[in-house]
Structure formats: structure tokens, C-alpha cells
Structure 1
């Protein structure tokens, strides 16, 4: 990993509650939106996906075959290498575009920095990491905005492009769809362990590799296979994002705990109690929506709720899915069939110990 030689700083120690790139906690977000009520917005027939859908990004149609995707994401440090933090933050921000079936075009840096406590060169290292990942995605970083703040934060605002008829969204799952996950889980418990100095170098290396892997191939493969419903797995965890997809689609789902892949070391760290506040909030919020079978271990239950950073795509794919899985494997992705969509109460999830 890249390190600054001039000054050794544990960035995660400056990040209260670090451990996931959590969006506003689900319960808090629900309360906020209920309190705000409908927000006044001008009527725009070209706004294909906006605030009301609660999707990964907004989509504005430009023409019959072009639509803009707009999104933003930023968070506090989850690793101690400035360069790797920048890479992870950029991959995480770009992920929303891929989750909508699009390609990123341009990005703007967003940064908050404690200028009196940390050297500006360190921020430059963070931004170099972000630029490296954006460049690999064919996305130009064209500027940004920085403020002085006691807690460092970094991310990007991203504009992408997609065909209006090939968008992926959370509200188009159908009964019988198979649930495919393209990355293993566990970045939340690993990030929490990193903050406490308890994660080995091998475990950190595997987590960083996963978090900096773009979802570009996963999104392209999903669109080519005719998948209509997808989302990326981030702060709400696998079960939280699946719940949102099922609720938006008016359906229920099953998850096969024994099929869900975990990052190296994640199981052991969950067993040792490295559980982030975001993950605990996910468990609490989903308690009334998720039924977990007795044979599912406590560690698996934690990881299914684990608040992820730059996780994989979760697709609801129509059967058969063998060719889709083979295409994902050929692209080097750790894609796994982890469940299915079924008729039932809106947003309900049953977690079984094994695939029936």
C-alpha cells in the first residue's frame, strides 16, 4: 500500500465511528423523509428516476437513446493509507452509476480536511488515489470542492450516461428472479478491526482489493443479459439493500446463508465482536422485516447485515442464470447465486441455512 514517508498518521483514528461508507441510517432516513414531507420540485417529464424512488442515483433523459445519471458519495477514512482510501472512495462513488446500468463520464472531488492537523500533501495523496481509479474507469476528474473540517472526508460527485431503455433500478424485481451477488461481504467488520489495529495485513489487503474493484463489468454484464433490477451493496448491508429492492418491487425474498461469500478473515472478526455501529443499526432496523432460521450462525447473521463499503452489485435476474453467472466468472468476478425473489409480504426476507 502507498504510504506517506513524511508523517505517519492513523487516519482511521480521526474518524469517529469509522467502519463503513454508511449512508444515513435507514431508520433516520425514514424519519427525515417523513418529517420533510413531499419536497417541492418542478415538473419534469424527463426525470426518469428521482428522489421518490430511493434508488442508487437520479436519472434524467436527454434524448431517446441518452440519459444522464447523477450521484455523489463521500465518507471518513476506513483504511490508514491515504492513497488506498482515495481509491476506495472513488470506486464507491462510481458504483452507483454502474448499479444503474450506466458508464461514468466525469467526476468532481469532494473533500473535507483538517488543515491545521494534517498536511495538505496527504490530501493530495488521497486525491491521487481517487484519480487513479477514475482514470481506470475512463472517467475524467474535472475539479471539485474542499472545505476545512475537523474530521477528514473524501468522495466524488459523478455524472454518467446510460440508455433510457436499459436502466437498472430497484423496483423491477419479479417473482422467480434469482439473486446474484458479485462481491463477498465483510468490509464493515474488517474496517472496524482496522480502526482498532486488529486486522492482519493479509485481511486488509484482500478487503482493499475487493473495495477497489470496479463494478463496471458487473453492470455491463447485467445490462447485456437483460437484467432489470439491481442495486449496489453499501451501507445498508446485503439484507438492507435487498429489503429496499423487495419493498420497492412489492415482493418478498429468500437468502441462502450458506451460499453467501465472505472476505478472508471476516468471519473470525465478526466472531471476535468487531461490529460497526452502522451494522448494529441495520440489525435493529431490519428486525421486523427479516426472519433468520435457527441454523444460521450469529457470525453469518452479522455479515449479512454488515455495512459495506464499495460492495458488489446485487442483481435480481430472470431464470435461467447459468450463462449470466458464467459471463461474470469469465470477467473475474466472485459472482454467486445467493437467493431468489418470491411472492409475499412487501419487503419481507427469509434467511435459510441452505438452498432448498
Structure 2
């Protein structure tokens, strides 16, 4: 292990921060054929949702997703655990329960020792075990950069499917995990994050979003998505566009990792944060005199971030209490959905 290079030194980016630029992605998908002609495909590529959903004849729905990325940490097991947690999250965000996974592995042969690769796979399998699912197979190739992730299959009943496009005016918005993973990643890359900060980073990125399965049984919960590489603004905008509503974000209520503000003030910002703002900043109304560091946190790419839950306003505090009791103490009500153009208005 001592002769192996740092995993992060072999990657141009890391985690969900290495996603394609959101505006480029929109252009790439714009001319793709719609999958809507298949009657049993309940969720396809028509909206920017977290996974595909196929309904079987008995009303059971199959949820399918895939997610993979380059390392944002140097510890192999932690990389595997974070990547697996992130991939499984898409099933929870749709209201489903995962049933098995397939590993996706790309490694630069000759640059990383086989035992290091084995530790990455072990970390991913460990997290799948915590979610109660097996890694049932997979595929591997030789790549210039390390890549690891999963294809995950889950199930739910049709009535439990929660898209990101079904928010209702008057809904409250709850975020289940704190923001700041991207600035922590930037500090890790520059070896500037202390041990306590690293523990906080790993704790939040390996916390399974399994509460989504429970939330989907509540008719007061209208829409769910997980917040990943496009940040709270990018994924919030997807919610607003899907529903045709204005999302109002209370920036003062946004939960942050303990060191996030300080790191952002010191300039630990990812390139993905800048790309995100360039892609969708024209659809966001900011308060006058908002400092750059705070805006960077709004576009901060979240690897294995929390669920963004849109629920009936009158039920929001009860739902928030349930989420916190389920093991998400940082969960907060961070905004609301209003009638208006599909954009975001930041207040506070």
C-alpha cells in the first residue's frame, strides 16, 4: 500500500463532482428519443429523475439505476463505501427498497496494486451488506483513472413511487443531510482536512438514505430526490421544473457540515461548483450582497448527499421529527414550493 499512489492523485475530479456539466448534459439528452411509448415504464428519461421505474403486471415496480465515479478519498474501503452508499441512494429516492447490486469497476492496471482494488470492492460490499443486499456480479475494465460504483435494482408498489416532478404548491421542503461535501473534498485533495473533519465527511457520505422507503408510504410526501453533483440549487431546480413551480430556499436554514463555511471562505471550492453556477445561475434569484462563499455552498457538489423531500406544509414538522428519529439529526426544513415560474428564489 505504501508504494501505491494516492487514489485522489489518479483522478482529475472526484465523487459526484466529476459529473458532466449540467448544461452539457441537458443538450446531450435533448435529442434522445423519449421512452414514454412503453406503457409499463412509469419513470424514464422524460424528467431528470433518480432512477427508471418499470411496473409489472401484479403492480410491483422494478427500480433500476447506476452510479459510479472517481475517488474523492484515498482510503480504498472508504471510497468503496461512499460510492456504494451514493448508488443505492437513487433507489431510496424513488421510494423503493434495494434488492441487489452489480459492481462497476474501472482501474488503471499497473498503477494500483490488486490488494488496493480488492479493498475498494470490499468497502462497497460492506455497505451493500448494511443495506441488506448482495453484490451479485459486475463488470470491470482497464481505465486511465480509478472508477467504482454500482448498478442497483430495487422494488416498490406503484403507489409508493416518488418522482422528483410531483411537488405541490404549498409544500415544505426538507433536506435530510448537511451540505458541504464538495468543499470538504477540495480540502482532502489538498491534504488540508483534519481527522475530525474527515470523520464527519465519511459519516455523512456513508449514511444510507433508507428513510426514503418509509417516507414514500406517507401520502403527505409528494416528491423526493437526492442531492448529489449539481448541488442543492441544481437538484432543487429539477424539482421546480418538474412541478412547474417556484422553489423558495431559506439559505439561513440550510444545514452545513461543521467546517463547510470556514473552508468555503478560505477558497476550498471545486470546479464543479463553478460549472454548476454557470449552467443554471440564470434561473436563480439571489439576495443582494450575497457573498461568493455562500453561493458556492449552494452549488457545492454533494457526493452521497441527503434527500430533498417535498411534503404537505401542515405535515412537515411531523415528518421532520420522523426523519430525525430515523437517524438524520441534521435534517431541516429549508424552504417551500410556490406558484410561479420554474426557478429558484433564495431568501435569508
Q: Give the TM-score band, short-chain normalised.
A: over 0.9
Shift, 1:285, TM fit: 1.3
Is 1:327 the counterpart of 2:327 in the alignment? no
- Which of residues 336, 340, 344 is equivalent to 1:344? 340
1:147 is aligned to 141
Instruction: State the partner residue of 2:204.
Output: 210
* 1:167/1:228 contact within 8 Å kept: no
Deviation at 1:63, TM superposition (A): 2.9
Matches within 5 A, 1:67-78: 67-78=61-72
**Number of residue-to-residue matches in the alignment:** 346
The structural deviation recorded for 1:225 is 5.5
Alignment partners' CA distance in 1, 2:233 and 2:99: 30
> What is the deviation of 1:224?
3.1
1:54 alignment partner, one of 40, 48, 53:
48
Deviations 1:14-59 (A, max 9, x none): 111236344322111112123xx24275942100001122210000
- Check if 1:189 corresponds to 2:183: yes
Give the Cα–Cα distance (whole angstroms) in 1 for the partners of residues 310 and 36 of structure 2: 32
Contact 1:22 1:309 in 2 (8 A): no
Moved more, 48-57 or 217-226: 217-226
- The equivalent of 2:23 in structure 1 is 27
> Corresponding residue for 2:12?
16
Shift of 1:141: 0.5
CA distance in 2 between partners of 1:199 and 1:161 (Å) = 39
Q: Give distance in 1, aligned partners of 2:179 and 2:291.
A: 15
Distance 1:7 1:325 in 2: 47
Contact 1:257 1:296 in 2 (8 A): no
Match of 1:224 among 218, 221, 225: 218
1:198, 1:40 → 2: CA distance? 45
Q: State the alpha-carbon separation in 1 of the partners of residues 137 and 163 from structure 2.
A: 29
Are the structure 2 counterparts of residues 328 and 130 from structure 1 closer, same or farther at C-alpha, using a change threshold of 3 Å?
same
- CA deviations over 1:144-203 (Å, ceiling 9, x no partner): 000001100000000000111111101101100001000000111111111111111111
Tell me, yes or no, if the aligned pair for 1:93 and 1:158 is still in contact at 8 Å. yes
| Counterparts in 2 of 1:237 and 1:148: CA distance versus 1, 3 Å | same
1:277-321 CA distances to partner (integer Å, 9 max, x unpaired)?
111111111221101112544322211110110000001111221
Q: Does 1:170 align with 2:164?
A: yes
* Contact 2:34/2:45 (8 A) holds in 1: no
User: What's 2:280 paired with?
Assistant: 286
- For the residue of structure 2 that corresponds to 1:193, the secondary structure is helix
Deviation for aligned residue 1:338: 0.2
> Structure 2: how far apart are the matches of 1:270 and 1:8?
30
Counterpart Cα distance in 2 of 1:195 and 1:171: 35
For normalisation by structure 2, the TM-score amounts to: 0.96
Supply the RMSD in Å over aligned alpha carbons.
Answer: 1.5
CA–CA distance in structure 2, aligned partners of residues 223 and 204 of structure 1: 34
2:106 is aligned to 112
Question: How far apart, CA to CA, are the structure 2 residues paired with 1:66 and 1:150?
Answer: 40
Larger displacement relative to structure 2 (37-46 or 133-142): 37-46
Distance 2:178 2:32 in 1: 37
Summarize the Cα distance change of 1:188–1:46 in structure 2 as closer, same or farther, 3 Å threshold: same
Q: Conserved in 1, the CA contact under 8 Å of 2:286 and 2:347?
A: yes
Q: Which runs of 5+ in 1 are unaligned?
A: none
Q: SS in structure 1 opposite 2:56?
A: strand
- Determine the C-alpha separation between the residues in 1 that align with 2:158 and 2:34: 25
Q: Is the 8 A contact 2:264 2:297 kept in 1?
A: yes
Contact map agreement 2:231 2:300 (CA 8 A) in 1:
yes
Mapped to 1, the partners of 2:37 and 2:203 lie a distance apart of: 43
**Which secondary structure state, in structure 1, belongs to the residue aligned with residue 233 of structure 2?**
helix
